[in-house]
């Protein structure tokens, strides 16, 4: 039976990435060594990093003066690294609170300076993206989380900001075109939409650095990593290589314009069925719905576990909702094709026939 991977992360990867990476684990480019064995100081790995950076810049149309880094520590380390580098002791940073990951970022920033939460959707359990908020112009920066994996909401536009705009794009990076020039810094854990867990993509305008007096440990200093081209210490070689393969796949798919079309179609197919099906209901306001993480509830709560069991038996993997929301969550990242979404929709229709 075919399995369909709806896990929120680590999550589905393109078959292209799996095939190419499996081959490289046995031997990388006929050099007699596995990608797991090569030195991060070797010319082979330097080329992988250089080519991966070039593809990131090409696919996202990154401005020429920006830097692209591959770092360790996950997006969670960036919660601290951003304010460590950008928020002075007597300064205030502004944050948009849209879910659990935004809350974690806010918590970490408070260790370094003042935090102003300009708007929050916590009043309705993060089922919408706040609008019509104002960001004080004296803010050191303004931080947003563009997609919320737990609650299923997404910010689908690039905001205009008079202060440096920082974005956690961990779960929707490369899912649509982005005007990178509007952002001072973007970071994204790879394990949602780029590669396996273990590497974090950082894209930043270096002009924002060096403006605070605080001494920064080398491993947490963006300038050190820029100077060393992501190779200050031993990087996550395997995860970077696999991410490089996904970048190649993205280019072959036609880039982000084509990827967005596919993601819109997949999300529409699933949301339309949730609205039509008497057994299910959505959790997020329509204009805030995520294209990456579709959250929904049973209209008959007593059937929640039964549907999870039913869907699992049909090959649907990882559709149980996060405990903060309950119900179900289908993560339909770039690598999930329309066939997989249709299989889930067919499963929902069959369940309705049995229980309606």
Q: Which of 122, 168, 176 is nearest to 149 (CA)?
A: 168
Last residue of a domain, one of 221, 252, 283: 252
Task: Catalogue the active-site residues.
Answer: 101, 168, 192
**141 lies in some domain:** yes
Q: Are residues 116 and 161 in the same domain?
A: yes
In order of 82, 114, 135, 220, the CA distances from 88 in angstroms are 11, 9, 18, 15
User: pTM higher than 0.75, yes or no?
Assistant: yes
Q: Considering the domain boundaries, does residue 290 fall inside one?
A: yes
Q: What is the pLDDT, as a whole number, of residue 337?
A: 97
Same-domain check for residues 104 and 48: yes
47 found inside a domain:
yes
Could you tell me how many residues make up the chain? Answer: 356
Give, for all 356 residues of the chain, the pLDDT tens digit: 899 999 999 999 999 999 999 999 999 999 999 999 999 999 999 999 999 999 999 999 999 999 999 999 999 999 999 999 999 999 999 999 999 999 999 999 999 999 999 999 999 999 999 999 999 999 999 999 999 999 999 999 999 999 999 999 999 999 999 999 999 999 999 999 999 999 999 999 999 999 999 999 999 999 999 999 999 999 999 999 999 999 999 999 999 999 999 999 999 999 999 999 999 999 999 999 999 999 999 999 999 999 999 999 999 999 999 999 999 999 999 999 999 999 999 999 999 999 97
Residue 128 lies in a domain: yes
Q: Which of 252, 284, 311 is the last residue before a domain boundary?
A: 252
CATH number at residue 86: 3.40.640.10
pLDDT of residue 1: 85
Domain stop point among 234, 252, 270? 252
Residue 243 forms part of a structural domain: yes
Has residue 313 been placed in a domain?
yes
Give residue 128's pLDDT: 98
**Are 343 and 233 in the same domain?**
no
The pLDDT value recorded for residue 356 is 78
Domain residue limits at 292: 254-355
Domain identity same for 212 and 264: no
Integer CA distances (angstroms), 135 to 126, 140, 325, 343, in order:
20, 11, 29, 43
């Amino acid at each position: 039976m075919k399995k369909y991977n709806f896990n929120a992360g680590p999550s589905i990867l393109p078959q292209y990435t799996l095939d190419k990476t499996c081959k490289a684990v046995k031997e990388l480019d006929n050099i007699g060594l596995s990608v797991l064995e090569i030195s991060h100081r070797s010319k082979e790995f330097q080329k992988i990093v250089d080519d991966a950076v070039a593809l990131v810049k090409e696919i996202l149309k990154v401005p020429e003066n920006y830097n692209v880094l591959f770092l360790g520590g996950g997006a969670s380390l960036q919660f601290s690294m951003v304010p460590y580098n950008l928020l002075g002791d007597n300064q205030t940073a502004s944050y948009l609170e849209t879910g659990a990951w935004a809350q974690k970022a806010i918590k970490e920033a408070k260790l370094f300076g003042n935090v102003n939460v300009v708007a929050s959707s916590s009043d309705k359990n993060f089922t919408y993206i706040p609008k019509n908020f104002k960001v004080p112009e004296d803010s050191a920066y303004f931080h947003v989380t563009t997609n919320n994996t737990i609650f299923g909401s997404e910010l689908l536009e690039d905001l205009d900001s008079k202060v440096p705009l920082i974005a956690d794009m961990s779960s929707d990076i490369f899912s649509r075109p982005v005007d990178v020039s509007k952002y001072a810094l973007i970071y994204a854990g790879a394990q949602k939409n780029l590669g396996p867990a273990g590497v974090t993509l950082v894209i930043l305008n270096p002009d924002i650095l060096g403006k605070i007096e605080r001494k920064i440990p080398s491993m947490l200093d963006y300038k050190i990593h820029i100077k060393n081209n992501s190779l200050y210490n031993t990087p996550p070689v395997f995860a970077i290589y696999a991410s490089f393969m996904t970048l190649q796949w993205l280019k072959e798919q036609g880039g982000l314009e084509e990827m967005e079309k596919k993601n819109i179609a997949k999300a529409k197919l699933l949301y339309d069925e949730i609205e039509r099906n008497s057994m299910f209901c959505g959790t997020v306001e329509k204009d805030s719905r995520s294209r990456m993480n579709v959250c929904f509830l049973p209209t008959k709560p007593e059937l929640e576990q039964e549907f999870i069991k039913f869907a699992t038996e049909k090959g649907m993997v990882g559709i149980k909702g996060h405990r903060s929301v309950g119900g179900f969550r289908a993560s339909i990242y770039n690598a999930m094709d329309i066939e997989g979404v249709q299989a889930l929709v067919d499963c929902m229709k069959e369940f309705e026939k049995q229980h309606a």
